[in-house]
Structure 1
Amino acid sequence: MNPMRALRQYQKVNSHAQISEANPHRLVQMLMEGGLDRIAQAKGALARGDIAEKGLMLGKAIDIIIGLRDGLDAGKSEDPAYVQQLESLYVYMTNRLMEANVKNDVTIMDEVLGLLVTVKSGWDAIGVAE
Structure 2
Amino acid sequence: MNANRGAAAYGRGAKAYARVGVESGVMSANPHQLIVMLFDGAQASIRAARIHMQGGNIAEKGKAISKAIDIVNTGLAAALDPEKGGEVAERLGALYAYIARLLLAANLHNDQESLDQAERLLEDIASAWREIGQQSA
TM-score interval for Structure 1 and Structure 2 normalised by the shorter chain: over 0.9
In the alignment, structure 1 residue 48 sits paired with structure 2 residue 55: yes
Q: List structure 1 runs of 4+ shifted beyond 6 angstroms.
A: none
In the alignment, structure 1 residue 96 sits paired with structure 2 residue 102: yes
> Aligned residue for 1:72?
80
CA RMSD of aligned residues (A): 1.3
**TM-score, structure 1 length as denominator?**
0.93
**TM-score, structure 2 length as denominator?**
0.88
Instruction: State how many pairs are aligned.
Output: 128
Question: Deviation of residue 63 (structure 1)?
Answer: 0.3
In the alignment, structure 1 residue 105 sits paired with structure 2 residue 125: no
SS at match of 2:101: helix
Gaps of 5+ in 1: none
**Identity of paired residues, percent?**
35
Distance 2:78 2:98 in 1: 14
Task: Tell me which protein shows more helix as a share of its residues.
Answer: 2
> Aligned residue for 1:119?
125
Distance 1:103 1:4 in 2: 33
Distance 2:99 2:12 in 1: 32
In the alignment, structure 1 residue 31 sits paired with structure 2 residue 38: yes
Larger Rg: 2
